[in-house]
């Protein structure tokens, strides 16, 4: 029997049993980090259970580690880190610790180390696990009680979502990136249109999006309201596994793409040829405009966004003075992101009124950048070159802005307080952040040419 679509095929392949309003699924890979897992392990211990499949369980320490050598780990954070280390020994699962060459942000290292493969089910106690759908797996974030359930059983009961396809076509203009595609979708359709859906991004672009670009778009799928976001695997995916059992992956991809029906509950199309550089203006990723546009008028119920962000409607977003520039996170902390920003920065200096930092998404990204001399470009320009970690994406590790500061950031969320109390966050691509750091204000990369 032909599956309704790719997602349905993978779901059915992992189906153990059907229940009322939910299905019991087998989980191929369980990823852990130090913040969302301690309570789950405590639950196991209380119930005298163990980890069902340690070989399919991998942990890292990424959220609360300082990225600055000058900062010490506080007592609370150290306790979480020690708990993760102790649990990895007790339950015999692989931990990519801070001293490991494989260490990094969980959603970055899972792709770069090919821990995930097309056709797999992957979960993690982190909402941005949908990032890993870039290579054609079903990956999603889960809560603490679900983390415990997967640890104990390697299964999870889930309600099957509806299906939404977003066709992406056209050719990207200069300086326009995958981040701009995601922000364009959010601007047009809002942050809730994906609720109850699994989103399939259908790549019909002229040159095909890279896996890194697909990861950025999938990463923002959760900001669109969807728990699951993915690209159906193709030749780009297969090439990504070069030197990593590529022939076997090709066979898997071909098999997964056989006998599918292109059937969805809803379809949306977006032509990237029409997109320009984007930047968020408010306190939700859907509050986004093109960089040359004016801040829109909102309803009376939303006027607190103006007050929090220190902006006014009908004024240009471009030219807003900034205090901080952040390049990093699971959205845009990969080698290709940092290289693209370095190309903008080269030959320029960071504005004297701006603090600018680059945080590689993993140790491998850091090494690759340093081998190419990209770190020197940033350092000479006046950026701080940091150690890997989640850093300023979430202000629980010492990396944050000061109250009232304005940040232009490559991360995925601009909620109130996300990057520090009363900090004003503008989401943008690495290129826009790099250019803005030089100008000292939100600007288009083309402005430096």
When pLDDT is cut at 50, 70 and 90, the band that residue 72 belongs to is confident
Contacts of 127 (CB under 8 A, 6+ apart): 141, 222
Convert the pLDDT of each residue in 1-46 to its tens digit.
678 899 999 999 999 999 889 999 999 999 999 999 999 999 999 9
202-226 mean pLDDT: 97
Taking the C-alpha atoms of residue 264 and residue 253, their distance in angstroms, rounded to an integer, is 21
317-321 mean pLDDT: 97
Q: Where in the chain is the domain with CATH 3.40.1060.10?
A: 162-274
Q: Strand 278-280 and strand 288-290: pairing?
A: antiparallel
Q: What is the CATH number of domain 162-274?
A: 3.40.1060.10
3-state secondary structure of 290: strand
Residue 300 has pLDDT above 70, yes or no: no
Q: What percent of the chain has pLDDT over 90?
A: 91
The CATH fold assigned to 6-158 is Aconitase; domain 3 (3.30.499)
Where would I find the beta strands (DSSP E) of 10-119?
A: 15-19, 22-26, 29-33, 57-60, 94-96
Q: Where in the chain is the domain with CATH 3.30.499.10?
A: 6-158, 278-448
Q: 0.85 cut: is pTM over it?
A: yes
Convert the pLDDT of each residue in 88-143 to its tens digit.
999 999 999 999 999 999 999 999 999 999 999 999 999 999 999 999 999 999 99
Residue 404 has pLDDT above 70, yes or no: yes
**Pick among 3.40.50.720, 3.30.499.10, 3.40.50.1370, 2.40.128.30: CATH of 278-448:** 3.30.499.10
């Amino acid at each position: 029997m032909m599956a309704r679509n790719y997602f349905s095929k993978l779901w059915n392949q992992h189906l153990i049993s059907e229940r009322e309003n939910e299905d019991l699924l087998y989980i191929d890979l369980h990823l852990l980090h130090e913040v969302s897992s301690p309570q789950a392990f405590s639950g196991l211990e209380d119930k005298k259970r163990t980890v069902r499949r340690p070989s399919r369980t991998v942990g890292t320490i990424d959220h609360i580690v300082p990225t600055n050598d000058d900062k010490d780990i506080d007592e609370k954070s150290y306790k979480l880190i020690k708990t993760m280390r102790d649990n990895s020994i007790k339950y015999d699962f692989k931990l990519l610790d801070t001293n490991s060459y494989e260490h990094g942000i969980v959603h970055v290292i899972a792709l770069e180390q090919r821990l995930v493969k097309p056709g797999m089910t992957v979960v993690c106690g982190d909402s941005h696990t949908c990032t890993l759908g870039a290579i054609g797996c079903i990956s999603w974030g889960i809560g603490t009680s679900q983390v415990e359930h997967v640890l104990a059983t390697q299964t999870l009961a889930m309600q099957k979502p509806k299906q939404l396809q977003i066709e992406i076509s056209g050719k990207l203009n200069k300086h326009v990136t995958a981040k701009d595609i995601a922000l364009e979708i959010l601007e047009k359709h809002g942050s809730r249109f994906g609720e109850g859906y699994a989103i399939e991004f259908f790549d019909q672009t002229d040159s095909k999006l890279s896996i890194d670009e697909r990861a950025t778009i999938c990463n923002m799928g959760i900001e669109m309201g969807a728990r699951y976001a993915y690209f159906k695997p193709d030749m780009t995916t297969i090439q990504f596994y070069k030197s990593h059992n590529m022939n076997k992956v090709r066979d898997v991809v071909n098999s997964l793409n056989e006998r599918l029906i292109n059937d969805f509950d809803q379809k949306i199309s977006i032509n990237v040829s029409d997109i320009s550089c984007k930047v968020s203006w408010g306190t939700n990723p859907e509050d986004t405009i093109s960089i040359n546009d004016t801040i829109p008028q909102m309803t009376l119920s939303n006027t607190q966004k103006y007050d929090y962000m220190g902006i006014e409607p009908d004024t240009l977003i471009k030219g807003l003075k900034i205090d901080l520039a952040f390049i990093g996170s699971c959205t845009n902390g990969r080698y290709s992101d940092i290289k693209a920003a370095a190309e903008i920065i080269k030959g320029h200096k960071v504005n004297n009124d701006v603090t600018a930092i680059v945080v590689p998404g993993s140790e491998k990204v850091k090494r690759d950048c340093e081998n190419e001399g990209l770190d020197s470009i940033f350092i000479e320009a006046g950026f701080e070159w940091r150690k890997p970690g989640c850093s300023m994406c979430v202000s629980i590790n010492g990396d944050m802005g000061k109250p009232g500061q304005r940040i232009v950031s490559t991360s995925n969320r601009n909620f109130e307080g996300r990057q520090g109390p009363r900090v004003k966050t503008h989401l943008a691509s690495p290129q826009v952040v790099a250019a803005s750091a030089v100008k000292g204000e939100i600007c288009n990369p083309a402005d430096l040419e």
